[in-house]
Structure 1
Amino acid sequence: MVKKHPGGLCSGQLTALEPGDTVSAFLRPNPGFRPGRSRAPLILIGAGTGIGPLAGFVRGNTRRRPIHLFFGMRHPDSDFFYGEEFPGWQDEGRVSRLVTAVSRGARPHYVQDALRSEATQVAELIRNGARVMVCGGRDMAAGVAEALAEILAPAGLTPAVLKAEGRYVEDVY
């Protein structure tokens, strides 16, 4: 998933490619960023192009594991990546719940705000063994960790505890 950013070097080059063009690149694997084989629910949290891997997890959810997806975007008319696929994924049981947050406009709302709005359900899912996966920018990930720390404090849990248990993983840039 690539979105062209004004003045962006890499995104400008990649979006200018034509079919048949080649590019020299490398992949940086993140082997810990996998949903795992458990049947425990997943809480997927991403913003912008961070939705790419998360959409792949949803698309591959043929076992209909409960997935609660929190997706942040700047503008719903241009940044709701995979938006046309979500209704089908919900109908097929590949995603249980989709919560979106729009950060530009009259009432800016970020994924961490969406998590706080759903704090009771998020805390219950995590208390019942849910795995949390965060993908996107570092600032977003820091905001998500802060929101989860607030949400989980009454239960005596923290993102650090979840990380130590292998139930909180990130792929951030």
Structure 2
Amino acid sequence: MGFHSKKDREFKPDTLSIEMRIETRKTYKNITRVKGRMVPIVDWRLLIYINENKLDEDEVFVVEEFFESLLSPGIYPLFTCTCGIFGCGGYYVEVVHDADRIIWLTEQSPFNNQTIKSSNKFIFSRDQIFEFSRELIQKFEHLKSIMDANELELNFDIERYSRIATEHWRKKDKL
């Protein structure tokens, strides 16, 4: 029989959530005096929230690294600068796997709003991380359908992400 402090009973895991904003438009390409054609443009971005607090939009969530972090613990470049160059403004997150939790230890506060109290340690339940990963996959499937309809290519391996999420879920049951 284990002993738990009152603090342990009051523990509430952090929550990770996502919003995807998608805008479609058409613009002229290869405009010359005589020729020009309309081409579709699909702009999209992910907004990530921890405990309903939006993470800094100047830091881009690296989807591929997130799914890699589900496979094994380690230090991952989960956030990069909006310019796409990690060294410009990205930061690492140490990901720790427990039996029923995933812990993120961040180098800095991930929030743009500095009034948000943050310990730079976020503890998510494995169930919540699985639900987040499933929602993320669904959003990419929706984006892919929009891209396909506009004859554009989406360069994310959604099938691989689904396999990783499923493997993460199976690992949870084995621990």
Bin for the TM-score computed over the shorter chain: under 0.3
Indicate the structure with greater strand content. 2
Q: TM-score by structure 2 length?
A: 0.25
Higher RCO, Cα 8 Å, sep 6+? 1
Q: Which one has a bigger Cα radius of gyration?
A: 2
Q: TM-score, normalised by structure 1?
A: 0.26
